[in-house]
Amino acid sequence: MTVLVAFGTTGGGTGEIAEWIAGELRAAGLAVRLMPAAEVTDVAGYDALILGSALYGYGWHLDVRRFVHRFAGCFADRPVWLFSSGPLDDSADTGQPPPVPHACTALRELPARAHVTFGGRLTAEAHGWLGHVAKQLARDGQAGDFRNPQRVRAWARAVAVEIRTPSHETDRP
Ligand SMILES: Cc1cc2nc3c(=O)[nH]c(=O)nc-3n(C[C@H](O)[C@H](O)[C@H](O)COP(=O)(O)O)c2cc1C
């Protein structure tokens, strides 16, 4: 079984989360294609999709929004999971923020089984305009790395189990 893990990232934090997820899926015996969402031109041949986006201004990364638009309806017969990465505090770990509207659209349009929010990362090492914002936030004590690799990896292992479970075993009567 081959899983597509596609992501949209500006500062690299979400891309690294996608790498952690891909690593767990591979460890579970699944074949994985890990790609920036903008580079995906064809989704035939994949048995499942995990799609993740960085959050900016309460929205998803443009590349991921475009992915959803391009492949709307294509996953009606294959399982899809979504994740967002953003909160620069521990709110993603202590309570589950509701999906942003773009994630709700993806849940409906692809469609997808579930959505989860993971913490984000914004540190002073970021480049360009992100680095500028990060330095400002750091002065206010708000910057940092709030991603939780253990939680991400545990989520990915649970998804791997679902992917490997024949759908008739999870169908409700
Ligand atoms: C200008 C700006 C806007 C942001 N807006 C949000 C937001 O609306 N919600 C959120 O949870 N995080 C927000 N964040 C935090 C980012 O989502 C976080 O830094 C994330 O890890 C970025 O992912 P990336 O490194 O993959 O681009 C924002 C960060 C910046 C710099």
Instruction: For residues 79 and 39, give the distance between their C-alpha atoms in angstroms, rounded to a whole number.
Output: 21
Locate 112 and state its tokens.
């997808």
User: Residues lining ligand 1, judged by CB closer than 6 Å?
Assistant: 9-15, 54-58, 85-88, 120-122, 130, 133
Q: What is the whole-number distance in angstroms between the Cα of residue 88 and the centre of ligand 1?
A: 8
Q: Is 144 left (phi over 0), alpha (psi -120 to 50) or beta?
A: left
Total of domains in the chain: 1
**What percentage of the chain exceeds 90 in pLDDT?**
83
Instruction: For residues 4 and 80, give the distance between their C-alpha atoms in angstroms, rounded to a whole number.
Output: 10
Q: What is the whole-number distance in angstroms between the Cα of residue 54 and the centre of ligand 1?
A: 6
Taking the mean position of all CA atoms in its chain, how far away is CA 50?
A: 7
What mean pLDDT comes out for the span 61-84?
98
* Mean pLDDT computed over every residue of the chain: 94
Confidence of residue 173 (pLDDT cuts 50, 70, 90): low
143-158 confidence digits (pLDDT tens): 899 999 999 999 999 9
Domain range holding 166?
Answer: 2-171
Confidence of residue 100 (pLDDT cuts 50, 70, 90): very high
87 with 137: CB under 8 angstroms?
A: no
Among the atoms of ligand 1, which is closest to the Cα of residue 10? Answer: 27
- What's the pLDDT score for residue 109? 97
With a cut of 80, say whether residue 89 has pLDDT above it.
Answer: yes
Does residue 79 have a cis bond before it (omega within 30 degrees)? no
Q: What is the best residue among 9, 61, 88, 94 to mutate for testing ligand 1's pocket, by most ligand atoms within 8 Å of CB? A: 88
With a cut of 60, say whether residue 11 has pLDDT above it.
Answer: yes
Q: The CATH number of the domain where 26 resides is what?
A: 3.40.50.360
Instruction: For residues 73 and 109, give the distance between their C-alpha atoms in angstroms, rounded to a whole number.
Output: 6
Q: What is the whole-number distance in angstroms between the Cα of residue 15 and the centre of ligand 1?
A: 13
Which of the two residues, 168 and 85, has the higher pLDDT score? 85
